[in-house]
Structure 1
Amino acid sequence: MVKKYLWMLAVPVYILIACNKDMATTGNPPPVTPPVKSPISDKQVSSAIQGNVVDEQNKPLAGVQVKCGDVTATTDAAGSFFFGKVNANQMAAVVTAQKNGYFNGSRTFHIAAADKLQFVQMQLLPKKAAGTFVASTGGTVNTSNAQFTFAAQQVLGPDNKPYSGKVSLLYAPINPERADFADIMPGDLRGITNSNTIVGLQSFGMMALELQSEGGEKLHLDTSKQVSFKMTIPTSLQNTAPPTIPLWYFEEVSGVWRQEGSATKTGDSYSGIVKHFSFWNLDMPFPLVNFTATLVDAHNTPLSNAAVKLKRANGSATYGYTNENGTVSGDIPKNETLTLEVMSKCNMVVDTRNIGPFNDHTDIGILRVTVPNNEYLYFSGAVASCNNMPVQNGLVSISLGGTTYRSNIANGQYSISILRCVTTQVTAIINAVDQDANKMSTNTKLVTTGNYITNLSACDVILADFVNSLLNGQTANYTATDSISLYNLGSGYLLSAARKTNRDFIDFQVNDMTVGTHATSIALTNNGKYYSGNGTYTLTQSGTLGGYLAGTFTSSVKPDSTQNNGPFPFTGSFRIRITQ
């Protein structure tokens, strides 16, 4: 259990930016943190984020650790994850994804509006050995589209000492010509130049690299020596590739690219040198301007979680996803006419139009998008209270295939549009909440695509959340006046209760949602002292969206101190409503 104060959580949101065409790598992070202040504002905002992680075949990838700030989640069988509240940089929120056997995934984005739910998608590439060489003598490794030459005694081990054995070069090419390039590329293809200016990047080659010992240990480079490389330029870019191009490495913590060195064109390839293996990119910079638009369907309902692509005349593009209000925002090329395309979940264009050029920050307002009935789901209807009056203040949430969509109730009515390109039948979980009456309802419905009029009634009393605990005979009870939350980890939930008046908290993972007793680890702070230990929780009630988790827990915990005291018995009970 990670030691943290979960009542202070807050989340990111996804938006536009990426230019179609790139070169990259991943391995030992380079020295970062330049002496000058970043040109990207460090303003923090809160929001919510959900998303999917897929493999190289675009299939859901389970068991991926997804991180935003100091908060983590794990993808479920559908490759889905959810963060309820996380603090993030408004101009460059960063979500990373890690799984053994894969190169890290990363997504950087603007937050269009605080406290709104947004969507991201990442594709992870497998680490495959492209070739080997002996570290003591150096050597050359030829990959499918690149060549790397290593000097003698250039590789260092985990202990930072020279490594002399056989080294495997783990490699994954990232072709910027691919239709799914936006999901694969790290960050969002904004770069910081040597003059500390933020620019957009058009890539002419990208790849992922890492060094590994025969025993599977991660190795890195001696930065006093150089690795020379030669990379073939993607076919469609060879005629427009400039004779000299800047090199950029990816700074994972900040989520942006930084300029370092250059490469020279010879024939159909670029040649250059690097001193460390992180993600590298061969890109031409261009000036940026901030852009915002809001997408609605023919019913004037926001199109949430919709992929948006803005194509340049040279074929490169920027990308993003709309938030729950249908808003997409980010940095796009300045003073250029662009083609805006709205993409289906199957990466097909469902709407297109020209926009721009823009020479300053621009909000173009509402764009009405016509989506074929077989490409999306449309839910609408009335929401009534128990006395059959229209609900005036409330929220409807729909969970579909691991992704949540939601709509505010206006004058007793709601509507939600969901892009969906397959017609297989799936169960939608629909939860309606009357916030004034503190009542709700939960319904399920089998759906495919098309229009569904579903009237709802919010009549079930929303029971108060609580966590009651007993530590070595001393009670600590948490109620609605405190912070009690369930954070969706994809494969389960993190139960967290925290005081608003001090730093006392309780948290433990609920990895198995079935009624019964299951193992867990528990962490807490009581009167300023931190405790942790292993134990069990017993679920007596388990539900879906809008339902409740209820049960008891018991464990034996020890204080985090040098004193040889404990362990102490720690028991309790809980009931928390599932809202995500």
Structure 2
Amino acid sequence: MNLSVTPEMRSGRSAFIALMFAFICTFTNCSKTKNPAPGGATESGLTGVVVDINGIPVSGATIRIDNQEVTSTATGTFKIADIQLSDKRYVVTCSKTGYFTQQRALLRPDAGTARMQFTLHTKEITHTISAQNGGAAALSDGSKVDIPASGVVTPDGSNYAGPVRMSVVHLDPSDEDFPLRVPGGDLRAIREDASEVMLYSYGMMQVEMESEDGERLQLKAGKPATLTITIPQEQQATAPATIPLWYYDEAAGIWKEEGIAARQGNKYVGTVKHFSSWNVDAPKPFAKVKGCIFGPCGGLGMPNMLVSIGQTTTITDANGNFTATVPSDIPYNISVERRHNGGIGGVAQAMPALPKEGNATQNLSLPCSPYVTGRLSTCTGEPMVGFITMFIDGVNTGSTFTDEAANFKLFAPKGKTVVLKAYDMLSHFAEITVEMPDNDNGKELPDVKLCDNKVLGETSFIINGAGFNNKLWVMAGEGKPTVANGFFDLSDGSTFCAIAHNSNTLSLKFEGSTKGTYEEDTDITLKLNNVIYASDGATKIIVTKYEEVGGTIEGTFTGTLKEVLGNKTVTITNGKFAAIRVQL
């Protein structure tokens, strides 16, 4: 199944297409791993995982460090076996079409393999303005970007006068996922006097501009833009009257000081001469914290645990140890969140502010908790990668993807009855009820076999135009099996559905997570006979069924679509769709 997205498809809709195609590729093996380039004497290795903001693994993402490059697997994992780490800090880059590129700083481990997680944010066109007239790209929380009239140029410096498509995202420090989304990861920065500092953020903006053809645009010299960044409620008491502006330099892998923002009420306002990621931050000297995350009931150190430390994150090494830098003079929390660690966690420790170059040691012991492990397989016993969601008293309390060997592990309270719902992306599923022990022992299940198919309604439509004459198209038949999945994107409140059969794909997006009629902020995209059509006019999606994870999303749709790389238009009538909901 060829589900690749070409460079010509760069638009708000194509970002959506890229997201869904990547999601399908996760379970159709359409990514390949490149061999890493030679790197000299081996001092360490690097392993990790690439996920989106909802925790869905992202396959086909490119991970680069120095001259080495690999691609994430079907389950989002990656591994670089040989890295020559001779310095204290390295920057690793992760990129994929349809997402904002993310970089994470890597500190050389004392021994063994370094570990990291990339959390990619979908890049969608949020606003379109006139380059000639300028305009404001405002977000719902009051943050915005004001572009001056005749203030946009192409990469070669030529004036640009057409529509400007903008991707604008506000990163809110009060958001629990903020540490996962910070460019660079560790908030290290360089001041205008070349001194190095640690940042404490009051908010960030990611801004990218492109032409109708997907060409990256920039601000014209002498035509600065104005950024307005909303200060979170809990930080307003400490937010200073003025604060430095910082931009993230991808080439150097670090934040750099450039300009000042002034506080106006609950917002910071400042001007910028170019776009990348911008930050309003207080510069602080470095301090350091280290510790160990011990397993439940006083167990050994836990490897690969995602630990939140103030506004940054780190991952424990093979012995459960972690080390991180924090800004001095700022209190911070250390926590291990269940939702990032397969149901285990739920511990936090408030830490006092450290002085300049101060050091702290803080170990955390995870609460005693039994676990359930198992393996997903086909009816014939072959391992099958998939997704497992755990319910207690009808409430979703944890979920995880299997590893590459199809194994899974989830933690649950002792003595509870849990329901495990397991499924792959081809609509095979299994539901198992497990009685957790009253003690803290683990429970190993026999193979969980994915044999049954959920009964899905038909996905079909009638298409006219571009050579079609009242053609009834059904997403089923001979060839590769139909993949039909949908999920709710917590980051923007949208539901995405994608139904694919052979090389044909239908993608739908609507703003919401309930039954109802959607006629605004909808997208319908169709890849048919290797031609891609996107919404161009009125579209309507009527959702008739919207169930919990593991259930179905069903409805009807109509719309007018136009070729992405041409001028032909098609109309869709009598559309019906059905998909398995695979994530919150």
Describe how 1:235-314 pairs up with structure 2 within 5 A.
Answer: 235-297=233-295, 298=297, 301-311=300-310
Matching residue of 2:388: none
* Counterpart AA for 2:40: M
Is 1:125 aligned to residue 121 of structure 2? yes
Matching residue of 1:61: 58
When the two structures are superposed, what TM-score results if normalisation uses the length of structure 2?
A: 0.55
| 1:327 aligned to which of 301, 321, 324 | 321
CA deviations 1:18-43 (Å, max 9, x no partner) are xxxxxxxxxxxxxxxxxxxxxxxxxx
1:206 deviates by 1.2
Describe how 1:547-562 pairs up with structure 2 within 5 A.
Answer: none
Check 1:249–1:209 CA distance in 2 against 1; reply closer, same or farther (3 A cut): same
Task: Determine the C-alpha separation between the residues in 2 that align with 1:354 and 1:133.
Answer: 45
Is 1:199 aligned to residue 216 of structure 2? no
* Counterpart AA for 2:130: V
1:233 deviates by 2.1
Check 1:453–1:133 CA distance in 2 against 1; reply closer, same or farther (3 A cut): closer
1:375 deviates by 6.0
Check 1:420–1:305 CA distance in 2 against 1; reply closer, same or farther (3 A cut): farther
Task: Determine the C-alpha separation between the residues in 2 that align with 1:5 and 1:78.
Answer: 23
Check 1:354–1:270 CA distance in 2 against 1; reply closer, same or farther (3 A cut): closer
1:357 deviates by 6.0
Check 1:63–1:420 CA distance in 2 against 1; reply closer, same or farther (3 A cut): farther
| 2:75 aligned to which of 67, 73, 78 | 78
Q: Give the paired residue count.
A: 361
Check 1:418–1:256 CA distance in 2 against 1; reply closer, same or farther (3 A cut): farther
Is 1:109 aligned to residue 106 of structure 2? yes
Unaligned ranges ≥5, structure 2? 1-32, 375-400, 413-417, 423-433, 445-584
Check 1:4–1:63 CA distance in 2 against 1; reply closer, same or farther (3 A cut): closer
* Counterpart AA for 1:302: G
Is 1:6 aligned to residue 23 of structure 2? no
Matching residue of 1:462: none
Larger radius of gyration: 1
* Counterpart AA for 1:149: D
SS in 1 for 2:125: strand
Is 1:94 aligned to residue 91 of structure 2? yes
Check 1:218–1:420 CA distance in 2 against 1; reply closer, same or farther (3 A cut): farther
SS in 1 for 2:346: strand
Check 1:253–1:420 CA distance in 2 against 1; reply closer, same or farther (3 A cut): farther
CA contact (8 A) 2:64 2:70 kept: yes
Is 1:164 aligned to residue 161 of structure 2? yes
> Of the two structures, which has the highest relative contact order with CA contacts closer than 8 Å and spacing of 6 or more?
1
SS in 2 for 1:273: strand
1:190 deviates by 1.6
Matching residue of 1:151: 148
CA contact (8 A) 2:226 2:271 kept: yes
Task: Determine the C-alpha separation between the residues in 1 that align with 2:144 and 2:329.
Answer: 38
CA deviations 1:269-310 (Å, max 9, x no partner) are 211100111111011122212333233335652211112233
Is 1:136 aligned to residue 158 of structure 2? no
1:248 deviates by 0.6
Task: Determine the C-alpha separation between the residues in 1 that align with 2:91 and 2:73.
Answer: 20
* Counterpart AA for 1:325: N
Matching residue of 2:347: 351
CA contact (8 A) 2:182 2:312 kept: no
Task: Determine the C-alpha separation between the residues in 2 that align with 1:76 and 1:271.
Answer: 42
1:69 deviates by 1.6
Unaligned ranges ≥5, structure 1? 11-45, 312-316, 379-399, 405-416, 427-446, 455-580
CA contact (8 A) 1:192 1:256 kept: yes
1:377 deviates by 7.5
1:210 deviates by 0.5
* Counterpart AA for 1:305: N
CA contact (8 A) 1:69 1:87 kept: no
1:59 deviates by 1.5
Task: Determine the C-alpha separation between the residues in 1 that align with 2:365 and 2:268.
Answer: 41
CA deviations 1:477-530 (Å, max 9, x no partner) are xxxxxxxxxxxxxxxxxxxxxxxxxxxxxxxxxxxxxxxxxxxxxxxxxxxxxx
Check 1:178–1:82 CA distance in 2 against 1; reply closer, same or farther (3 A cut): same
1:191 deviates by 1.5
CA deviations 1:207-256 (Å, max 9, x no partner) are 21101101222212224431122222223323332111111111223322
Task: Determine the C-alpha separation between the residues in 2 that align with 1:355 and 1:451.
Answer: 32
RMSD of the alignment, in Å?
Answer: 3.6
CA contact (8 A) 1:112 1:328 kept: no
* Counterpart AA for 1:156: V
Task: Determine the C-alpha separation between the residues in 1 that align with 2:331 and 2:136.
Answer: 44
1:351 deviates by 3.0
* Counterpart AA for 1:8: G
CA deviations 1:28-82 (Å, max 9, x no partner) are xxxxxxxxxxxxxxxxxx3222222222322111221111222112122222111
CA contact (8 A) 1:65 1:98 kept: yes
Task: Determine the C-alpha separation between the residues in 2 that align with 1:202 and 1:126.
Answer: 25
1:195 deviates by 2.4
Identity over aligned pairs, percent: 29
1:104 deviates by 0.8
Describe how 1:112-511 pairs up with structure 2 within 5 A.
Answer: 112-114=109-111, 116-144=112-140, 145-187=142-184, 188-297=186-295, 298=297, 301-311=300-310, 317-334=311-328, 338-346=332-340, 349-353=345-349, 358-359=354-355, 360=357, 362=359, 364=361, 367=363, 369-374=365-370, 401-402=402-403
CA contact (8 A) 2:39 2:84 kept: no
When the two structures are superposed, what TM-score results if normalisation uses the length of structure 1?
A: 0.55
Matching residue of 1:487: none
CA contact (8 A) 2:370 2:441 kept: no
* Counterpart AA for 1:319: T
* Counterpart AA for 2:325: D
Task: Determine the C-alpha separation between the residues in 2 that align with 1:349 and 1:146.
Answer: 34
* Counterpart AA for 1:50: T
Task: Determine the C-alpha separation between the residues in 1 that align with 2:317 and 2:371.
Answer: 19
* Counterpart AA for 1:160: G
Task: Determine the C-alpha separation between the residues in 1 that align with 2:181 and 2:419.
Answer: 26
Task: Determine the C-alpha separation between the residues in 1 that align with 2:78 and 2:157.
Answer: 36
